[in-house]
Amino acid sequence: MKFLKSVVATLILCTTLSTVAYDASASTINQTGTSSGQNEFAAQALVAFQFEDVNREFDTNKWFKVPSKKELKLTVVQWSEASDWINKPVLNYVLVDANNETVGSQEVEGTYKNQNHTVSFGTVKEGYYKFVLRNPDSSVPVSGNAYAE
């Protein structure tokens, strides 16, 4: 009986420690800084993607579902190694529906490395969507990442 109590106590301790460790690591992984300096969690992202040296067009090929009518926001970090004070990185983030029709487009100009930038595509209907990125200035290739919620 004494052995059984020690086994049960050990199992409870291990379960508690692993739950605490998992919660702490999940918070660390999902934590992102916002431009306002507050911290938010990207756990509810509908889609996330990375891109590197986009100089014309980049199709994310990541379809995601908007489960109900809602405001769709895209949070972006972008930069260019070729940018200077005249040539800033610029990308058009194009939202495309399942029929490959453009639903909306938002231009993001500038370098966002140490902070992110959020744009809204307004209220979108329930359905499947993806993003296509277009660079209007091929001499300034843009890299970065983004997530939608």
pLDDT in tens, the chain (149 residues): 444 344 334 434 333 333 333 333 333 333 333 344 434 544 589 999 999 999 999 999 999 999 999 999 999 999 999 888 888 999 999 999 999 999 999 999 999 998 999 999 999 999 999 999 999 999 999 999 999 99
106 Cβ neighbours under 8 A, 6+ residues apart: 74, 92, 93, 119, 120, 121
pLDDT at 43: 57
Query: For residues 139 and 81, is the Cβ–Cβ distance under 8 A?
Result: no
Q: Residue 42's closest CA among 33, 50, 51?
A: 33
Query: For residues 49 and 93, is the Cβ–Cβ distance under 8 A?
Result: no
Q: What is the pTM (predicted TM-score) of this model? A: 0.71
For residue 3, give the amino acid letter: F
Distances from the Cα of 123 to the Cα of 17, 58, 130, 144, 149, angstroms: 42, 24, 15, 25, 12
Q: Residue 79's closest CA among 56, 39, 50?
A: 50
Residue matched to tokens 């919660």: 23
Furthest CA-CA distance within the chain: 77
Q: Residue 73's closest CA among 129, 135, 141?
A: 129
Whole-number Å distance between alpha carbons of 7 and 63: 47
DSSP SS3 for 149? coil
